[in-house]
Amino acid sequence: MNLKFQNKKITGILTVLPENEVNFDDEIDNYDFSRAQSMKLKLIMGYGKRRVVKEGTTISDLCIYGLNYLFDNGLLKKEDIDAIILVTQSPDHFVPATSHIIQGKLDLKKDIICLDINQACSGYPVGLNQAFMQLEQEEVNKVVVLNADMMSCKVSAKDRGSRPLTGDAASITIVENDTSGSTIYGTVNADGKGAEALIIPAGGFKMPSTPKTAELVTDKNGNSRALDHLVMKGDDVFNFVQREVPPMVERLLDKAGKTKDDVDYFMFHQPNKFMLKKLADKMGISYDKMPNNIVENFGNSSGVSIPTNITHNLGEKLLKEDFLICLAGFGAGLSWSSLLLNLGSLDFCETIDY
């Protein structure tokens, strides 16, 4: 579905990374890899350093830390926040919504919209879409979009396909009304028939966690997982991304009357280096316009990899300059989404450690 928003803008982006860093080289013995395989995986997939939370840390901790950083540095005022939209699949609890927990702990005003959105790797554009819609309300002037996930806790230590790629992170994006007559174009898509391509089978109401769902089972590729763990059909996900993302971006650009050359940067979700390079090849986009270095530096933090990509790779540039940016997210659901917007002259665009 095509979306269009008038007079909305992003005014600041902050990424919060847990300072705890795990290096693939230190973990190699966990996996049944030969030395040659390990070297190849580092080079091709981008296995490297990743940031993961320490036990006991939750996504609300990361979000609250980041918001307090903004309050303390005069970059955001508590009383100005009219809505909090939190995109996550690792909430503190099933009940209540984590956005409410954050609102309460920070003593934010009660005259506020709090909304959790259950989306994974395509969640960042989806959360921004919701923020743009909230801003249509007369009394909503500033929306905080939080995107946070800590899936490292849900990936088996003996899953060599997913574990070395997975990281945790949170991001805070401020969205406001704009008077410049700008237009933001977007798309959202869903295919629930592919629900099992990326799934945590147990732990919800359909299959509650029990000692049985925690038992490790080894698959034919030698990876051991429990039903409580995230399981990904890598080949299905690869084919899905190659099939759906290039035409989605074509349609988006077409609607906006722009070409690929008009776009300064394609800031995409970061599943792994290999998939991003293949995507760039298929779309005929040079690698320097589509960064693919987030997994090797921080890990794939689901939807948060898009704001991490922006603050890490464009950071200070976005304080002074303006760019036409295409965002795209794709993953569990299946879900895929995109946005085309002018981004720049931000109040802040940085990465901090928790």
Partner 1 sequence: MEEFKNSIAEILEVDSVSLSDELESFDAWDSLAVLSIIALFDTTYNVALTAEDINNAKTISGLQELMENHQ
Question: Contact residues for partner 1 (CB under 8 A)?
Answer: 36-37, 40-41, 44-45, 161, 221, 234-236, 238-239, 242-243, 274, 278, 281-282
The nearer residue to partner 1, 134 or 300, going by C-beta atoms, is 300
Query: Measured from the CB of residue 235, what is the shortest distance to partner 1 in angstroms?
Result: 4
Query: Measured from the CB of residue 223, what is the shortest distance to partner 1 in angstroms?
Result: 9
Query: Measured from the CB of residue 286, what is the shortest distance to partner 1 in angstroms?
Result: 16
The nearer residue to partner 1, 161 or 344, going by C-beta atoms, is 161
The nearer residue to partner 1, 27 or 178, going by C-beta atoms, is 27
Query: Measured from the CB of residue 242, what is the shortest distance to partner 1 in angstroms?
Result: 5
**Token pair of 143 as six digits:** 């929306």
3-state DSSP assignment of residue 175: strand
Query: Measured from the CB of residue 278, what is the shortest distance to partner 1 in angstroms?
Result: 5
CB 268: neighbour CB atoms within 10 A? 29
Cβ partners under 8 Å of residue 104, min gap 6: none
Q: Are 62 and 170 in contact (CB under 8 A)?
A: yes
Query: Measured from the CB of residue 40, what is the shortest distance to partner 1 in angstroms?
Result: 6
**Token pair of 6 as six digits:** 């008038």
CA-based nearest residue to 183, from 257, 273, 83, 109 = 257
Task: Provide the phi-psi class of 222: left if phi over 0, else alpha when psi is between -120 and 50, else beta.
Answer: left
CB 123: neighbour CB atoms within 10 A? 30
End-to-end CA distance of the chain: 37
The nearer residue to partner 1, 182 or 239, going by C-beta atoms, is 239
The nearer residue to partner 1, 40 or 78, going by C-beta atoms, is 40
Instruction: Determine the Cα–Cα distance for residues 158 and 245; give it in Å rounded to an integer.
Output: 30
The nearer residue to partner 1, 210 or 221, going by C-beta atoms, is 221
Instruction: Determine the Cα–Cα distance for residues 319 and 12; give it in Å rounded to an integer.
Output: 9
Instruction: Determine the Cα–Cα distance for residues 53 and 92; give it in Å rounded to an integer.
Output: 14
The nearer residue to partner 1, 224 or 313, going by C-beta atoms, is 224
Query: Measured from the CB of residue 43, what is the shortest distance to partner 1 in angstroms?
Result: 10
